[in-house]
Amino acid sequence: MQQMQAANPSSDPQQLDLLRVARVGRAQGLKGEVTVQSFTDEPEYRYEPGSELYTKDGSQVFVVEASRSFKQRWILKFEGIDDRNAAEALNGTVLYGEADDLDAMIEEDVWYAKDLVGLEVRLDEQCEMAFEAAKAAETAETAETTGEAAAETTVETADSVDNSRIVGKVVDVLDGPQWLLKVRLTRPVRDDDGVVIQNSALVPFVEQIVPVIDLDEQYLTIDPPGGLIPQLGQMDISEESN
């Protein structure tokens, strides 16, 4: 599981890099407590007394005075919210927390979902069986094209990663007991009539399967077990390297 941790406070709340943490629900009791719908992986950290949560534009700050969990729900008490009327006025408010310093997160192998979306997905070089199968498929496809077309492909991809290693692009991160990367496949699965029947795959976001993440170069690598990426090595080779 990836973890969420806080960055140092910014002196200007309007310039904060904020991530959605919770949505305030109904008032709980008479002393200003509220229930919240939680969106964070680390509620114990985000809701500890003294933590600061913000409205989306950063103009309002709510300081957590107390927090507790009850039947898979979190109940929070904010400083200055001391009665039921004040608590009810917060119903529907979406609260945000500060994002971490990206360099520190990379050192600790911690990631935000927003940083993963858009990354190119490549087969890890150590994934020998999958890589060789994909390479064989590309070679067979190239052999069926004209010499001119093959030459054009060579020119276009000479300075880029081998096409056969490109699996697709991360288009979403699904939260849950284990994060899943939704990967839009560069080479979708087609039926016998050429109709696309599957154009995405879900990849568990664990180190064994996703060993390398390079935000500077905007890619990550995967070492998928058999069957995770459908028809790997048998799919049509894309015309572009994305």
The tens digit of pLDDT for each residue in 185-203 reads 998 888 888 888 899 999 9
Under 8 Å CB-to-CB from 92, ≥6 apart: which residues? 23, 24
- 13-107 is classed CATH 2.20.25.160: no
Q: Write down the pLDDT at residue 59.
A: 86
As given in the structure block, the two tokens for residue 139 are 């070679």
Q: What is the pLDDT of residues 8-31, one digit of tens each?
A: 333 344 445 677 889 999 999 999
CA 12 to chain CA centroid, Å, is: 27
113-222 CATH pick, 1.10.10.10, 3.40.50.300, 1.20.1560.10, 2.30.30.240: 2.30.30.240
